[in-house]
C-alpha cells in the first residue's frame, strides 16, 4: 500500500469509525462550564466563549458540545450546530468564522475542536469539519457541494473535511453513507442517480491526485456500502460492477477497511469494489470479499464475483476468510507472486467457465517490491 493510500485509509477510518462520544451537553444562555478532561482551563473558556458567539448567529438552532474520547480524533470536543434550511450556507460560513477565532486566539494552546452542522429536517446526514482553521469560504463552498450531492443522490449523506493543519488551503474530504440509514438504500440511490451525481462532482486535476472545483485543493474519497473510492466519482462502468457484484454476493457495510488487515475485528462480511483514480497506484482497483468463515455453498458466488472483476481492465480479486483465500492479480507482476493451491483452483474455475479476459490475469497475489 503506497503512502497516498495509507493516508486516505487512515482518514477514512478516522472519519467513519463511530467516535467514542460522551454525553451531549446543550449550552444555555447561562452555561459557564462543560467538564471536558482533555481541555485546559484556558481551552475550556475558549469553548464556552465560542459556543456563546455561535448562538448569536441569526437563526441558529440548538448548539451542543460532546467530548470525544477516541484516539482517532485529534479534537477533544465536537460542537454540533443545527442550522435552518433556508439560510444554511450563510450560517455555515458564520459558524466556521466564529469557531476559527478560537484557533487563532493568543491564549495557548488553541482549542482542539471539531464541529458538525445538521440541517433542520435531516434525519441522518451531517456535514463535519474535523478541526478548526479552514477558511470559512472553503467550508461554505463544500457545504453547498454536500447539499448538491444529497439532492443529486436523492438520499442523505455525510461529508467530513480534514484541514491539513499546515496549509490553510489544503484539506481532504470524505463522502460516506450516514450512520443509521439503511445501507442498501444508500447504494441503490447512488447507483440509480449516478448521472445526476456525475454532473455535480468536481473534475479531477491533471495529476490524478487533487480535486479542483471546490475550494483550493486536497484529496477526496467516497466510502459507501460495497464501494470504496480514492478520488472523485469513478467511471460508470465501476458503478455497474458494484451493481453486478451485489447480485451475487452481499455488499460489505464498512468498505473502508482492507480485508482482515486493518482492524480485522471491525471488518464485516461482504464484497467491496475498490477504485482509485490514480493509474500509478498498484492494487488500487479490485473486488474484495471478506468472510469470517469459508462456506462451501458460497463457492459459485465467489466464482461469479471473480468473473465480474475480470470485466474491467486492471482489476485484481481477493476472497479472504481466516482459513481459505482465493486471489488473482493482473499481469504482469513487478514484484513477488504469492500463490496457493486455492488461487490456482479459482483460476481454473474461471478458465472452465469461459471468462473472456482470463488470459489477462494470473493466480495469486502480487506483492510489489515496496512491501
Q: For every one of its 371 residues, what pLDDT tens digit does the chain have, with 9 covering 90 and above?
A: 343 443 444 444 444 444 444 444 444 443 434 567 778 888 888 899 999 999 999 989 999 998 886 555 678 899 999 998 888 889 999 999 999 988 765 555 688 899 999 998 787 889 999 988 888 998 999 999 999 999 999 989 999 998 876 555 678 888 988 876 666 778 899 999 999 999 998 655 444 444 544 545 567 889 898 999 988 889 999 999 999 999 999 998 755 544 334 444 455 689 999 998 877 776 789 999 999 889 999 999 999 999 999 988 889 999 999 889 999 998 778 888 999 999 999 999 999 887 767 778 899 998 877 65
- Work out the angle between the directed axes of helices 88-103 and 41-55 (0-180°, nearest 10): 160
Where do the H-state alpha helices sit in 173-272? 183-192, 194-198, 236-246
Pairwise CA distance, residues 116 & 83, whole Å: 10
Beta strands in the chain (DSSP E): 21-26, 63-68, 77-83, 113-119, 126-129, 158-163, 170-176, 217-224, 227-230, 270-276, 286-290, 316-320, 325-330, 335-338, 361-363, 365-368
Structure confidence by residue, pLDDT tens digits, 274-300: 998 877 776 789 999 999 889 999 999
Beta pairing partners, 60? none
> In the prediction, which pLDDT does 25 show?
47
Q: Does an H or E element contain 251, and which?
A: none
Contacts of 247 (CB under 8 A, 6+ apart): none
Are 205 and 211 in contact, with CB atoms under 8 Å apart? yes
> In the prediction, which pLDDT does 85 show?
83
Q: Does an H or E element contain 7, and which?
A: helix 3-16
Averaged confidence pLDDT in the chain: 80
The residue with cell 438504500 is 185
Contacts of 151 (CB under 8 A, 6+ apart): none
Q: Which three cell numbers stand for residue 15?
A: 472519519
Pairwise CA distance, residues 185 & 370, whole Å: 39
Amino acid at each position: 500500500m503506497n503512502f497516498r493510500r495509507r493516508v486516505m485509509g487512515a482518514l477514512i477510518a478516522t472519519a467513519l469509525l463511530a467516535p467514542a462520544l460522551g454525553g451531549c451537553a446543550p449550552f444555555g444562555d447561562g452555561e459557564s462550564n462543560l467538564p471536558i478532561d482533555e481541555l485546559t482551563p484556558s481551552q475550556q473558556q475558549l469553548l464556552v466563549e465560542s459556543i456563546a458567539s455561535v448562538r448569536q448567529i441569526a437563526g441558529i438552532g440548538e448548539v451542543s458540545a460532546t467530548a470525544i474520547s477516541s484516539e482517532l480524533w485529534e479534537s477533544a470536543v465536537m460542537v454540533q450546530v443545527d442550522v435552518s434550511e433556508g439560510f444554511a450556507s450563510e450560517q455555515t460560513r458564520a459558524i466556521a468564522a466564529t469557531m476559527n477565532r478560537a484557533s487563532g486566539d493568543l491564549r495557548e494552546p488553541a482549542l482542539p475542536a471539531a464541529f458538525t452542522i445538521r440541517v433542520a429536517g435531516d434525519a441522518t446526514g451531517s456535514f463535519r469539519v474535523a478541526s478548526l482553521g479552514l477558511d470559512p469560504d472553503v467550508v461554505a463552498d463544500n457545504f453547498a457541494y454536500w447539499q448538491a450531492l444529497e439532492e443529486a443522490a436523492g438520499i442523505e449523506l455525510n461529508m467530513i473535511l480534514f484541514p491539513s493543519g499546515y496549509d490553510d488551503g489544503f484539506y481532504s474530504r470524505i463522502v460516506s453513507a450516514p450512520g443509521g440509514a439503511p445501507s442498501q438504500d444508500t447504494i441503490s440511490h447512488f447507483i440509480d442517480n449516478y448521472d445526476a451525481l456525475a454532473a455535480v462532482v468536481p473534475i479531477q486535476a491533471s495529476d490524478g491526485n487533487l480535486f479542483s472545483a471546490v475550494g483550493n485543493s486536497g484529496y477526496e474519497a467516497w466510502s459507501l456500502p460495497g464501494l470504496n473510492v480514492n478520488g472523485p466519482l469513478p467511471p460508470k462502468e465501476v458503478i455497474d460492477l458494484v451493481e453486478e457484484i451485489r447480485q451475487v454476493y452481499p455488499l460489505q457495510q464498512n468498505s473502508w477497511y482492507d480485508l482482515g488487515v486493518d482492524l480485522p475485528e471491525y471488518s464485516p462480511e461482504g464484497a467491496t469494489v475498490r477504485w482509485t483514480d490514480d493509474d500509478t497506484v498498484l492494487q488500487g482497483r479490485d473486488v474484495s470479499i471478506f468472510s469470517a468463515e469459508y462456506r462451501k455453498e458460497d463457492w459459485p458466488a465467489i466464482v461469479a464475483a471473480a468473473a465480474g472483476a475480470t470485466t474491467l481492465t486492471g482489476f485484481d480479486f481477493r476472497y479472504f476468510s481466516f482459513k481459505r483465500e482465493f486471489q488473482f492479480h493482473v499481469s504482469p507482476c513487478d514484484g513477488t507472486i504469492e500463490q496457493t493451491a486455492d488461487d490456482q483452483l479459482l483460476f481454473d474455475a474461471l478458465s472452465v467457465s469461459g471468462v473472456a479476459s482470463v488470459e489477462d490475469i494470473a493466480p495469486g497475489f502480487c506483492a510489489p517490491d515496496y512491501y
